[in-house]
Structure 1
Amino acid sequence: MRGAKILITGPAGQIAFPLAEHLAHDNEVWGIARFANPEDRARVEAVGVTTRAVDLASGDFADVPDDFDYVLHLATFQGPGEDHDHALRVNAEGTGLVLAHCRSARAALVMSTASVYRPHDDPHHAFAETDPLGDARSPHAPTYSISKIAEEAVARTCARLFDLPVVIARMNASYGPNGGLPAYHLDWILAGQPVVTRWDPCPYSPIHQDDINTQAAALLGAASVPTTVVNWGGDDVVSPQEWCGYFGALTGRTPEVVVTEMPGTHRGSILSAERRRAITGPCAVGWREGMRRLVAERYPDGFDASAPMAGQAGTLLSAYTRDDADVEAPAGDGTTPTR
Structure 2
Amino acid sequence: MLLTRDTLPETIADTEALDELLCRPTQALIDDLARVDGDIMILGVAGKMGPTLAGLAKAACPGRRVIGVARFSEPGAEDWLQARGIETIHCDLLDENALRALPQAPNVIFMAGRKFGAEGDLALTWAMNAHVPALVAQAFCRSRIVTFSTGCVYPFVNVDGKGADESVAPDPPGEYAQSCVGRERMFEYFSKKYSTPGKLFRLNYAIDMRYGVLHDIATKVLQGKPIDVSLGHVNFIWQGDASSQALRCLAHCEVPTSPINVSGHEILAVRDLAAKFGRLLGRAPVILGTEQPTAWLTNTSQATKLFGLPVVDTDRLIQWTADWVARAMPSLNKPTKYEVRDGRY
Counterpart Cα distance in 1 of 2:204 and 2:108: 20
What's 2:159 paired with? 123
- Does residue 99 of the first structure (1) align with residue 126 of the second (2)? no
Q: Is the 8 A contact 1:10 1:75 kept in 2?
A: yes
Q: CA RMSD in A?
A: 2.8
| CA deviation profile, 1:232-277 (whole Å, cap 9, x unmatched) | 1111221222222222222223322322778xxx922321122212
TM-score (norm 2): 0.79
Give, in angstroms, the shift of residue 167 of structure 1. 0.3
Equivalenced residue count is: 306
What's 1:74 paired with? 111
What's 2:186 paired with? 154
Q: Is the 8 A contact 1:84 1:147 kept in 2?
A: no
Which of structure 1's runs of 4+ aligned residues deviate more than 4 A? 325-330
Q: What are the equivalent positions in structure 2 for 1:188-337 lying under 5 Å apart? A: 188-199=220-231, 202-259=232-289, 267-296=294-323, 298-299=324-325, 302-303=326-327, 305=328, 311-313=333-335, 316=337, 327=342
Counterpart Cα distance in 1 of 2:44 and 2:229: 28
SS at match of 1:112: strand
- Does residue 33 of the first structure (1) align with residue 70 of the second (2)? yes
Give, in angstroms, the shift of residue 171 of structure 1. 0.8
Larger mean CA deviation between 1-10 and 230-239 belongs to 1-10
Larger mean CA deviation between 190-199 and 287-296 belongs to 190-199
TM-score (norm 1): 0.80
Structure 2 runs not aligned, ≥5 long: 1-32
What's 2:199 paired with? 167
- Does residue 11 of the first structure (1) align with residue 49 of the second (2)? no
Q: Is the 8 A contact 1:156 1:226 kept in 2?
A: yes
Check 1:239–1:46 CA distance in 2 against 1; reply closer, same or farther (3 A cut): farther
Counterpart Cα distance in 2 of 1:204 and 1:329: 18
Q: Is the 8 A contact 2:51 2:77 kept in 1?
A: no
Counterpart Cα distance in 2 of 1:57 and 1:146: 19
Counterpart Cα distance in 2 of 1:310 and 1:214: 22
Structure 1 runs not aligned, ≥5 long: 138-142, 331-339
Q: Is the 8 A contact 1:52 1:64 kept in 2?
A: no
